[in-house]
C-alpha cells in the first residue's frame, strides 16, 4: 500500500480516504485524528494506479492513470465497490477530477482531466454522470493545454492545471448550461474527385447540448499536410449557423449539402469544391443560443478520387498508343 496518490475526508468527517498508485490499486480508510486503520479495499485487475479521488455525498469517486482511464465509485460507509466505467479509446491516464451538482436539474457529475496529448497538443475534459456512470459531455482543450494533473472547482466553474513543456496553463470550464459539447470527429463515407461525404455522430450516449437545442453546425476543412486550423480553417454551413463568421478569416465560402437539419444519429454533409487527388482533414463546430462549441478533434485524412480529366487524358493516350501499335504491325 505504497504510493498514496489520492486523499480526501469522508462524508462523516471522521475518516480520511486514501487511494494508491499501485498494481493492484488499494483504497484505505483511516480514522481521524487517531489514524487507526478501519477498512480497506483492493480493486480488481484493470482498475489500478489511482491518481485522483473526490467525495460525492456518501460515495468515493476515484480515477485511474490507465490506458484508457477508468472511473470507480465506492461506498464510503461499507467500502465496497459500487460500479466503474472505462473511458473511450484515447482518453488515457485520468489524473484529475472535480464533482458538481447542477443547481437547477440536480444532476451529479464528475469532470475528469486527462494526462494525455491528442494531435496538435490538445487534451480533453470529460463529464461523467455519477448516477449512471456514463459519459455525457466533453471538450477538447486549446493547443498547449495538455497533461491536466490538478483540478479545483468554484462558483460553477472547474479549473484544470496544465503542464506543457516549459510553461503551464489554467483551463476554466463552465459546469452548468453552456455552449454545446464537442462532437465526435467526422468520418468520410464516400469520395468523388471534388467532393467528400461526411457524417459525425452526437458526442455521447446521452447527447449534451449545453442545456439548449443545437441551432447550427459548421464543418472546418484543411489540407491534411497543413497542421494549423487557424491558417486554413475554411468554414462551410452544414446547418444554418448564426455564430459562423460572415467576413474576414473563417467566413463561409462553401455551402455544404444534404441535409440542413439534424439526423437521428447525428449530422451529414457533402463537402464540395475540393481538389482531385488531395487529402483533407475535417472538424466540426456546433452552436446553441449560448454560442459555438469547441471544434471537434480532426478526422483521419480523407482523399478525393482520381481526376476525371486526367483519367480521360490517360485513357485517350492509351487508345492512341493502341492505334499506333496496330498500325505499326499491320
Question: 165, exposed or middle or buried, with CB in 10 Å at 0-12, 13-18, 19+?
Answer: exposed
What's the pLDDT at 95?
93
Three-class SS of 231-270: HHCEEEEEECCCCCCCCCCCCEEEECECCCCCECCEEEEE
Does residue 120 surpass a pLDDT of 70?
A: no
Nearest CA to 203 out of 67, 301, 70, 294 is that of 294
Rounded Cα distance between 139 and 285, Å, is 11
User: Is the CB of residue 53 less than 8 Å from the CB of residue 64?
Assistant: no
Q: Which helix (H) or strand (E) holds 329?
A: helix 308-329
Distance, CA of 53 to chain centre: 21
Q: Look up cell 458526442; give the residue.
A: 203
User: The dihedral of CA 133, 174, 268, 121: what is its sign?
Assistant: negative
pLDDT of residue 179: 72
Evaluate whether 121 touches 143 at the Cβ level (below 8 Å): yes
What is the pLDDT confidence band of residue 206, given thresholds at 50, 70 and 90? very low
Mean pLDDT of 271-299: 82
Q: How many residues does the structure list for the chain?
A: 330
Mean pLDDT, rounded, of the chain = 79
Computed over its alpha carbons, how large is the radius of gyration of the chain? 25
- Residue 207 scores a pLDDT above 70: no
CB–CB of 276/270 below 8 Å?
A: no
pLDDT at 29: 94
Phi, psi angles (nearest 5°) of residue 36: -75, 140
- Which residue did the predictor score with more confidence, 310 or 85? 85
Q: Is residue 272 pLDDT above 60, yes or no?
A: yes
Q: What is the pLDDT of residues 138-182, one digit of tens each?
A: 777 877 788 898 999 988 889 999 876 667 788 888 887 667 777
Helix/strand/coil percentages in the chain, nearest 5: 10, 45, 45
C-alpha span between 306 and 313 (Å, rounded): 12
Q: What is the DSSP letter of 119?
A: G
pLDDT band at 239 (very low <50, low <70, confident <90, very high): low
What's the pLDDT band for 210 if we cut at 50, 70, 90?
Answer: low
Q: Which of 6-15, 152-161, 240-249, 311-320 has the lowest mean pLDDT?
A: 240-249
CA distance 218 to 94: 30
Grid cell locating 255 = 455551402
More confident residue, 150 or 326: 150
Mean pLDDT of 77-81: 93
Q: Following DSSP, what letter does each residue of 284-328 receive, concatenated?
A: EEEEETTEEPPPPPPPPPEE----HHHHHHHHHHHHHHHHHHHHH
The three grid cell numbers given for residue 8, joined into one nine-digit string: 480526501
Q: In angstroms, what CA-CA distances link 158 with 63, 170, 173, 297?
A: 17, 10, 5, 22
pLDDT reading at 251 higher than 70: no
For the cut 80, the answer to whether the pLDDT of residue 328 exceeds it is: no
Task: Give me the pLDDT at residue 165, please.
Answer: 62
Amino acid at each position: 500500500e505504497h504510493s498514496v496518490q489520492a486523499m480526501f475526508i469522508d462524508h462523516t468527517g471522521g475518516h480520511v480516504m486514501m487511494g494508491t498508485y499501485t498494481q493492484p490499486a488499494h483504497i484505505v480508510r483511516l480514522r481521524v485524528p487517531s489514524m487507526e486503520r478501519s477498512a480497506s479495499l483492493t480493486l480488481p485487475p484493470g482498475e489500478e494506479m489511482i491518481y485522483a479521488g473526490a467525495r460525492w455525498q456518501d460515495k468515493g469517486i476515484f480515477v485511474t492513470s490507465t490506458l484508457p482511464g477508468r472511473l470507480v465509485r465506492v461506498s464510503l460507509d461499507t467500502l465496497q465497490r459500487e460500479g466503474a466505467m472505462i473511458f473511450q479509446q484515447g482518453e488515457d491516464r485520468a489524473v484529475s477530477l472535480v464533482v458538481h451538482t447542477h443547481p437547477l436539474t440536480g444532476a451529479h457529475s464528475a469532470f475528469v482531466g486527462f494526462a494525455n496529448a491528442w494531435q496538435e497538443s490538445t487534451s480533453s475534459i470529460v463529464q461523467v454522470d455519477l448516477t449512471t456512470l456514463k459519459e455525457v459531455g466533453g471538450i477538447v482543450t486549446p493547443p498547449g493545454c495538455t497533461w491536466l494533473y490538478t483540478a479545483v472547482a468554484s462558483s460553477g466553474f472547474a479549473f484544470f492545471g496544465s503542464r506543457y513543456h516549459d510553461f503551464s496553463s489554467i483551463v476554466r470550464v463552465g459546469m452548468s448550461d453552456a455552449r454545446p459539447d464537442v462532437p465526435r470527429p467526422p468520418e468520410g463515407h464516400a469520395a468523388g474527385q471534388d467532393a467528400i461525404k461526411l457524417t459525425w455522430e452526437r458526442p455521447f450516449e446521452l447527447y449534451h447540448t449545453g442545456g439548449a437545442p443545437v441551432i447550427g453546425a459548421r464543418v472546418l476543412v484543411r489540407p491534411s499536410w497543413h497542421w494549423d486550423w487557424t491558417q486554413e480553417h475554411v468554414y462551410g454551413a452544414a446547418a444554418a449557423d448564426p455564430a459562423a463568421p460572415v467576413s474576414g478569416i473563417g467566413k463561409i465560402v462553401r455551402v455544404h449539402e444534404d441535409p440542413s437539419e439534424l439526423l437521428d444519429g447525428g449530422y451529414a454533409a457533402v463537402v464540395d469544391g475540393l481538389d482531385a487527388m488531395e487529402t483533407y482533414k475535417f472538424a466540426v463546430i456546433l452552436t446553441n443560443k449560448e454560442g459555438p462549441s469547441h471544434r471537434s478533434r480532426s478526422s483521419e485524412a480523407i482523399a478525393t478520387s482520381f481526376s476525371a480529366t486526367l483519367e480521360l487524358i490517360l485513357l485517350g493516350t492509351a487508345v492512341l498508343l493502341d492505334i499506333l501499335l496496330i498500325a505499326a504491325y499491320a
